[in-house]
Amino acid sequence: MSGELVNMGELVEHVSDTSSYHLPQFLGHFDLPAIGGLTLTKGMVVEVFAAVMMAALFIPLAVKMASGKPVRGRFWNLLEVFLTYLRNEVIIPSIGKKEADRFTPFLWSLFFFVLFCNLAGLLPWFGSSPTGSLATTAVLAVSVFVVLLFAGMKKFGVVGFWLGQVPKVDLPFMLSVTLKPMLFVIEVIGLFIKHVVLAIRLLANMFAGHLVIAVIMGFIPALAAGSVFLWGGVTVVSVLVCVCLYMLEIFVAFLQAYIFVFLASIYIGMAQHQH
């Protein structure tokens, strides 16, 4: 049993953000270097990979679109469909036509950064989704919060923005004096909690998905010491289930990126149009 647990622990370690790549056994492990006091991890490499991929895809697309004519080619059209869908169906309805374009580049960056980080985590040996770590999702949620705060305060002024958090309700003076400060506190706490949940939701989904795949693959080494027939059967079933879960994970990668940006758009929209 202890041997099995060592296998399981090592396997689970594959989905965590470590500083070494666990390549197939004959290739051994590849340790990432440390830059100054900073030890590089797989997640950091994935983030750089995501950034480079985004630049490699969208800068040429921008050049192609600059002429004002529709882009040609299935691939470029596919990319454009992502962008226009997010802009027309998510960002503009949430924020409003007038203000939407100020936030569109930020929300596009957010979507593709999260998406590529999610997807890169599924690449064998290479991947470890940085979005399965609180540090990454928290930074992204904080970036949404900062954008929302600055944009809201720019539009309504510092005092106007914070006072606007209290919903406008017609109350008698005495009730208003007591209830409104309470409402203010609840709304401000709600504002923070929304962003914390934004970070946790993405983190939990990505972490859980990878862990489930790791565990189901873990059945194979766990049963290696037992009967050959049981091991063979479990291996086949585990691989098949993992293939299905992998497909589900690809879907979840898109879905969570979409949900993250969808909620971020709604929060920014709410800060731009106070109740």
Binding stretches for another protein (CB under 8 A): 4-6, 8-13, 15-17, 38-39, 41, 43-44, 47-48, 50-51, 54-55, 58-59, 61-62, 65-66, 68, 70, 83-84, 87, 101, 104-106, 108-109, 113, 130, 132-136, 138-140, 143, 203-204, 207, 211, 214-216, 218-219, 222
Nearer to another protein, 107 or 271 (CB): 107
Q: Which is nearer to another protein, 21 or 164 (CB)?
A: 21
Nearest to 152 by CA among 220, 196, 99, 101: 99
Is 59 or 78 the residue whose CB approaches another protein more closely? 59
In angstroms, what is the minimal distance from the CB of 101 to another protein?
5
- CA-to-CA distance for 182 and 24, rounded, in angstroms? 58
Question: Which of 211, 53, 47, 50 is CA-nearest to residue 139?
Answer: 47
CB of 177 to another protein, least distance (A): 40
DSSP H or E stretch at residue 39: strand 38-39
Confirm if 103 and 95 have CB atoms less than 8 A apart.
yes
Least distance to another protein from the beta carbon of 214, Å?
A: 7
Give the separation between CA 65 and CA 73, rounded to whole angstroms: 12
When the beta carbons of 235 and 274 are compared against another protein, the nearer one is 235
Q: How far is the CB of 162 from another protein (least distance, A)?
A: 25
Tokens for 169? Answer: 């309700």
In whole angstroms, give the CA distance from residue 148 to residue 214: 37
How many whole angstroms separate alpha carbon 258 and alpha carbon 240?
A: 27
What is the token pair recorded at 135? 């540090």
Considering the complex, state which of residue 95 and residue 203 has its C-beta at the smaller distance from another protein.
Answer: 203
Smallest gap from Cβ 17 to another protein, in A, equals 7
> For another protein, which is the closer residue by CB, 83 or 259?
83
d(CA 220, CA 214): 10
Q: Which residue has the tokens 């504002």?
A: 191
| Minimal distance, residue 246 CB to another protein, in Å | 16
State which residue, 39 or 227, has the beta carbon closest to another protein. 39
Sequential DSSP letters for 87-102:
IIIIIHHHH-HHHHHH
| Distance of alpha carbon 180 from the chain centroid | 35
Q: Which helix (H) or strand (E) holds 34?
A: strand 34-35
Q: How far is the CB of 39 from another protein (least distance, A)?
A: 7
